[in-house]
Amino acid sequence: MRITDRLPGTSIWNKNQGWVCEPLPTLEPNQIAVTINVKSGIPQSDLEQSLDSVGMVSHYYYLGENDPKNSKETNLVYLAKVCHSYSELLETIGVLQSASIPVNAISVITPQLQKLSIFKQFEQRQTA
């Protein structure tokens, strides 16, 4: 889903469903996701345009568990690219920087970090 493709007046958050976008796809052990944090301070339409300009998919996903009771328990990210090597990761970050996306907006997600994010949120709800 793209923020700029939403119908006017519609939200990306639903109080009954939670995020109305897809979760970040499950990463395989040999994959590394390069993402852009939606809360990076850059207007989302500008992020989408920058990603489009360098040929990257500008759809957003949520990272973590989708809990309609608390939107702050997940991160909303653009998935720039899934990389299969360290050199591909470095190249992707360079392409993003050439598209004027600052390095502090870029996140690198490994399969282990993805699992930890989901587990941590599940554990927090169990103790609440």
pTM: 0.77
Tokens of 100: 């004027």
Strands (E), the chain: 13-14, 18-19, 32-37, 60-63, 75-83, 106-109
> pLDDT of the chain along its 128 residues, tens only?
555 555 555 567 777 877 777 888 999 999 999 999 888 888 888 888 888 899 887 788 888 777 767 666 677 888 899 999 999 999 999 999 999 998 889 999 999 888 877 555 545 544 55
- List 54's β-bridge partners, or say none: none
- For residue range 4-17, list pLDDT tens digits in order: 555 555 567 777 87
DSSP 13-49: EETTTEESSPBPPPPPTT-EEEEEETTSSS-HHHHHH
Provide the residue ranges of all domains of the chain, joining segments of one domain with +.
3-127
